[in-house]
């Protein structure tokens, strides 16, 4: 091979080698970008999937809540006609006191309102651990019912027969706000906020307005 041919060959080899390196670098960059973009897309898809699952779970919970309201709505209306406690008040109390019917007490006794079994109670009872003075856990007896409807009716009867509720204007109240306040004033619950202010009426009103329970009244 002549000197000129050797030089041309070397020059072509260097050029080709340089092009090959550039090509390899380009391919490497493309591969890296592909992995990065693919990773970002996967993370994005995972987040979207998680959001969809969370939304489905949220819808399921809302459906269960609506079902709970429907399950006790009719008896709450019937009880109102006999005892005078607005359906929205009865339902909101049942939601609050039983955790939408999911509390341990409600599951084993159909007791929606946490009414205890004192000496006046002649029916069945269950013994459940409950908190007293915010932190002390004690065993207490609670009324047991055959159905949620029985619990609703007994709750209204309990309020009617206890004079302090009439004294605080529960049955004179013609709207849910006044009846909720009467329950708080009569001491149905001792729930307070961090400032020591009674909040039971506000909690009932919030539930009633959030789920439009006043439309049942």
Tell me which of 119, 132, 136, 197 is the catalytic residue: 132
What's 89's DSSP letter?
Answer: H
Give the whole-angstrom CA distance, residue 115 versus residue 80: 19
Active site residue 154: yes
- Two tokens at 21? 């390196």
- CB neighbour burial string for 51-81, b if at least 16 within 10 angstroms, e if fewer: eeeeeeeeeeeeeeeeebbeebeebbeebbe
DSSP H helices in the chain:
3-83, 87-98, 104-109, 148-161, 163-167, 176-185, 200-210
Strands 125-132 and 136-143: antiparallel
Active site residue 136: no
Question: Which residue pairs from 99-107 have beta carbons closer than 8 angstroms and sit at least 24 positions apart in sequence?
Answer: 100/64, 100/65, 100/68, 101/68, 101/71, 101/148, 104/128, 105/142
Tell me which of 75, 97, 154, 184 is the catalytic residue: 154
Residues with a catalytic annotation lie at 132, 154
């Amino acid at each position: 091979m002549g000197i000129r041919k050797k030089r041309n060959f070397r020059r072509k080899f260097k050029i080709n080698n340089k092009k090959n390196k550039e090509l390899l670098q380009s391919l490497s960059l493309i591969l890296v970008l592909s992995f990065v973009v693919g990773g970002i897309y996967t993370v994005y898809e995972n987040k979207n999937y998680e959001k969809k699952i969370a939304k489905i779970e949220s819808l399921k919970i809302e459906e269960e809540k609506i079902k709970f309201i429907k399950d006790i709505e009719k008896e709450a209306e019937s009880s109102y006609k006999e005892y005078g406690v607005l359906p929205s008040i009865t339902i909101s109390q049942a939601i609050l006191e039983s955790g939408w019917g999911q509390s341990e007490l409600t599951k084993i006794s159909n007791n929606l309102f946490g009414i205890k079994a004192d000496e006046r109670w002649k029916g069945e009872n269950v013994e459940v651990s409950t908190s007293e003075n915010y932190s002390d856990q004690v065993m207490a007896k609670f009324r047991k019912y055959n159905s949620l409807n029985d619990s609703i009716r007994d709750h209204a009867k309990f309020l009617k027969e206890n004079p302090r509720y009439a004294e605080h204007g529960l049955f004179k109240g013609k709207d849910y706000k006044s009846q909720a306040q009467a329950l708080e004033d009569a001491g149905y619950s001792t729930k307070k906020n961090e400032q020591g202010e009674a909040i039971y009426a506000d909690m009932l009103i919030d539930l009633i307005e959030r789920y439009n329970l006043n439309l049942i009244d």
